[in-house]
Structure 1
Amino acid sequence: MPAAWTPTSANRVIQGDNLAVVSALPDGAFTAVYLDPPFNTGRSQSRQSTTSVRSVTGAITGFKGQQYDRIRGDLMSYDDRFEDYWSFLEPRLAEAWRLLSDDGTLYLHLDYREAHYAKVLLDALFGRECFLNEIIWAYDYGAKSKSRWPAKHDTILVYVRNPAKYHFDSAEVDREPYMAPGLVTPEKVAKGKLPTDVWWHTIVSPTGKEKTGYPTQKPEGILRRMIQASTREGDWVLDFFAGSGTTGAAAASLRRRFVLVDESPDAVAVIRKRLDKAGVAFE
């Protein structure tokens, strides 16, 4: 990190190990944290044990003890790939929780292979009262399996820092067309409808203007929706699996501020080029 970051700093793009970087960021500084981690790395990762107790009314110092250990053990006995993946993801989620403001929201983007494990463990780690939504992002692109129902969706788990104080403003969210416009009034058709927890949105077009060439790039419309609902102008947004920089691009277009972190030099180069092209100021 070039200099200590504070909420009065400029937008920032940081190359480095995300766990080390975010550990140096101040508590409660971000209104939204979006994480799009590798869906299952299969790599050995550094481990960090956490045994203290979470309290929604006090400082977050850790996670639930024996209940969490039992649930983690049950899941490990069900799928032995789980241990390495969760040992990688768990300390990063602990940091995300610490970094959220009291009115903040975490969006964790996964696919069908890991989403159900994560939901059970996040309930144990953070408390079921902090679960807000399971968002399904549905798309229709790519190969079509003939031996099973083709997998054409991702899951985004939404947890809030404090269920009594989180920020959510549906009036700020871009509306979408009605699927059956003949069933509503012309006025409602013209206005559009609010999205539900199922988001029909195409992937980034391979030939579209938004395409950066980054292999796991997410469409800006998906990030806009989260940021619009869960932040206000001037709020800080954090993404420490930043990839192609979509979170920063969406945040800047909505007059939010951002910190993006990625350990890949190629990813950071893509992010910097993308933000420079859009005229976004950052360090």
Structure 2
Amino acid sequence: MAAGGEGGPAGPLWSPSGSSLVVEADNAGYLPTLPDGAFTLIYVDPPFNTGRSQRRQQTSMVRSADGEGDRVGFKGRSYRTIRGMLASYDDAFEDYWSFLEPRLAEAWRLLAEDGTLYLHLDYREVHYAKVLLDALFGRECFLNEIIWAYDYGARARRRWPTKHDNILVYVKNPAKYHFDSAAVDREPYMAPGLVTPEKAARGKLPTDVWWHTIVSPTGREKTGYPTQKPEGLLRRIVAASSREGDWVLDFFAGSGTLGAVAAGLGRRFVCVDQNPQAIEIMRRRLGGHATVAAFEPALQQAGPV
């Protein structure tokens, strides 16, 4: 593994033998201090870019010559033309993806050979994210698109109401990734009389459509953070794609749901966010399970872990 930095006045850096961390930082500055291949699971729930203006433009699709693209992906194909076309879809797209792309490239670097990335978005950006992740990871590393369907959201009369999020799942190495179906919570069979009593008692493995309620405004999980995700959703992800003792990472951590679930399942975690409200919520929620500190790159000194 590549060397990271050591702790100090700038706050702690990751160590494979250290404690779990909650880090107040701009993830663009903090992620490069983490070593290659450190995490078995990375869950990313970035801003959904909901406020972008939509300005459609007529464009022609011209494929660039081999080797002229700014990124080479599956079978050596160039992705410059695709990015240019997507950037011209509206005037906010390029800004959003210039923000997110380098962070997803860091996620690829930080994943272990048996690691898995879960990217949580919605209908606004998920299709562009699929193209981008195909370029970063390779299309052969795409594992699933999970649909999280829930019981709240838009009320519409001129289109179908949107009641789901999309979670793209990519693996670092399609020949080595970890997936433990036996550790995942089971769902009841819709027709239990058609299977054996043993199967009916055990339940079935969930499909790629997950029905799960939101965090109840009056429930035990509620932290007050506006984009908080339910623990049941993250528990399924952590159980399936990591082992007890593994390191997991969320660098848009928000209320710290990944950390809470990881601690409950015996995983070690790093949760990163630059929002002071998020850090205060995670301090209360995860302080008993992790070191909480700020990271200031200007003060950080490089050194071996």
Counterpart pick for 2:86 among 75, 95, 106: 75
Q: Give identity over the alignment, percent.
A: 73
1:131 partnered with 2:163: no
Task: Tell me the CA shift for residue 52 of structure 1.
Answer: 6.4
| Alpha-carbon distance in structure 2 between the residues aligned to 1:96 and 1:24 | 12
> How far 1:53 moved relative to its partner?
5.5
Could you tell which deviates more after superposition, 209-218 or 2-11?
2-11
SS at match of 2:88: helix
- Within 5 Å, which residues of 2 pair with 1:143-158? 143-158=154-169
In the other structure, the counterpart of 1:116 is 127
The amino acid of 1:18's aligned partner reads N
- Over 3 Å counting, the alpha-carbon distance change for 1:3 and 1:178 in structure 2 is same
Tell me what 2:24 maps to.
15
- Residue 121 of structure 1 aligns to a residue whose secondary structure is helix
Q: Output the CA distance in 1 between the equivalents of 2:127 and 2:48.
A: 12
Residues 266, 247 of structure 1: CA spacing in aligned structure 2 closer, same or farther, 3 A cutoff? same
Question: What's the counterpart of residue 246 of structure 2?
Answer: 235
Q: State the alpha-carbon separation in 2 of the partners of residues 205 and 188 from structure 1.
A: 31
Q: Are 1:26 and 2:35 counterparts?
A: yes
1:68–1:125 CA contact under 8 A, matched in 2:
no
Q: Are the equivalent residues in 2 in contact too, given 1:134–1:158 (CA < 8 A)?
A: yes
CA distance in 2, matches of 1:13, 1:116: 31
* Corresponding residue number in structure 2 for 1:46: none
1:67 alignment partner, SS class: coil
Q: CA deviation at 1:143?
A: 4.3
TM-score by length of 2: 0.82
CA contact (8 A) 1:239 1:259 kept: yes
Deviation at 1:69, TM superposition (A): 1.5
Q: Within 2, Cα distance between the matches of 1:151 and 1:41?
A: 13
Q: Which has the larger radius of gyration?
A: 2
Query: Cα 1:264–1:41, aligned 2, differ >3 Å: closer, same or farther?
Result: farther
Note if contact 1:30-1:235 (Cα within 8 Å) is conserved in structure 2: yes
Q: What does residue range 83-102 of structure 1 map to in structure 2 within 5 Å?
A: 83-102=94-113
Equivalent in 200, 207, 226 of residue 189 of structure 1 = 200
Q: How many Å separate the matches in 2 of 1:138 and 1:251?
A: 23
Question: Match of 1:204, as an amino acid?
Answer: V
State the 1:182 CA deviation. Answer: 4.4
CA distance in structure 2 between the partners assigned to 1:55 and 1:182 by the alignment = 45
* d(CA) in 1 for partners of 2:110, 2:73: 14
Q: Secondary structure at the match of 2:291?
A: coil
What's the counterpart of residue 6 of structure 2? none
Residues in 2 aligned to 1:55 and 1:146: alpha-carbon distance in whole angstroms: 41
Task: State the 4+ residue runs in structure 1 displaced beyond 6 angstroms.
Answer: none
Higher RCO (C-alpha 8 Å, min separation 6)? 2
Structure 2: 5+ residue stretches without partners: 1-9, 53-68, 293-305
Distance 1:170 1:246 in 2: 21
Partner of 2:179, secondary structure, is coil
Is contact 1:32-1:230 (8 Å) kept? yes
The answer on 1:214 being equivalent to 2:225 is yes
Partner in structure 2 of residue 61 of structure 1? none
Q: TM-score, normalised to structure 1's length?
A: 0.88
CA distance in 2 between partners of 1:179 and 1:112 (Å): 29
Distance in 1 separating the partners of 2:279 and 2:266: 21
Would you say 1:160 and 2:167 are equivalent positions?
Answer: no
Q: 1:3 aligns with which of 12, 31, 39?
A: 12
Change (3 A) 1:260 1:281: closer
